[in-house]
Amino acid sequence: MLVGNGQQVVTSFHMAAGKVVCNLATPLTPGDLWLGELPNDGLAARIDPLTPSYENKKPKSIEPFTRLTAINDEFFAKRWLAKPEQIIFTHPDGCELEGWLMKPYGYEEGKQYPLVMEIHGGPNATYGNAFFHEFQVLAGMGYGVLYTNPRGSMGYGEDFATVIIGDWCGIDARDLQFMAEEAASLPWVDASRFGVTGGSQGGYFTNWLVSHTDMFAAAVTQRSMSNLYTKYGTADNGWNGDKFGMGGADLWDNEELIMSRSPIRYANRVKTPLLFLHSDMDFRCPLEQAEQFYVAVKRNGCPAEMVIFSGENHELSRSGKPANRLARLDYLTGWFKKYMG
């Protein structure tokens, strides 16, 4: 068993010949290889990259890991990095919701700064103590960054993760709006320059939020969903994915529920300037999901633009062509700069 100390994520590991090597990341490092002995007394090996002083305090039967690589040290030595600060939101119903805030480059007490909320996909995914390049880019440009785990996220128990089944854009979206409103009240946040973005299910939430609140100054919806009716049967993860997520609701026995949780129904309410980023080979959230929402908000007078990446799929931001990944960041940051300064 591996026991981490501090903020870190083990993304992969391999064990052989009494040793284990793992790829360890932290909020300030994308990842390096660490090597350790497998304990033969049933206790855990300990990885402690952030607190070297622990070396002198460890129990004798727990051996620390040795860092093998320092791939990005020279690169990061010349660059500023934002350190995430944990924030716990207590919902009015008593549920505790975890999030993190990154203050912007050049932060000074007493001043106010724009803030961007980043929403993860899934919905059963999770944010954690890992390195997020996009968040660092935004923070380096002078934006605060908020990222959170609303109900439906993994890592907080089965009840927390499954409570959203049959209630997409219900309690989860209310959690997101609640946390956004709480963050907007922080002294250093300029609530008039609050942006929102997310991809996949996070894009679905982005579409939902801008159709249900005007609190955001700008939004970027990425590889998103907008119409659960037309998505049925067209996504590459099968028709049963959305059906399960909606608690078994079917087009023919509960069309009202499906459409009531589809942002397309509320497109005429959207006033927030909205940028669409989508790939033409995205089969998880097909391109038509973005196209129809773009047309709907555009015809209703909302400032909107759409960028389609040719030859890319649902993984554009993670494994797309480098030039397209850079272009995506340029479009995203350019949109916030245009509407939030």
Whether 99 contacts 89, CB under 8 Å: yes
* Residue 11, token pair as written in the block: 């993304």
Question: How many Cβ atoms are within 10 Å of 274's Cβ, its own excluded?
Answer: 28
The count of residues in the chain is: 341
Of 286, 165, 292, residue with least CA distance to 231: 286
133 is catalytic: no
Question: CA dihedral in degrees (246, 248, 254, 260; nearest 10)?
Answer: 0
Helix (H) or strand (E) holding 310: none
Q: What's the rounded Cα separation, in Å, for the pair 141 and 335? A: 13
Supply the DSSP string of 199-221, one letter for each residue. Answer: ETHHHHHHHHHHTT----SEEEE
314 is catalytic: yes
Question: CA dihedral in degrees (69, 71, 74, 80; nearest 10)?
Answer: -120
Whether 286 contacts 292, CB under 8 Å: no
Whether 62 contacts 46, CB under 8 Å: yes
Q: What's the rounded Cα separation, in Å, for the pair 217 and 210? A: 10
Check 120, 153, 200, 262 and give the catalytic one: 200
Of the chain, the end-to-end C-alpha distance in Å amounts to 48
Please list the active-site residues.
Answer: 200, 314
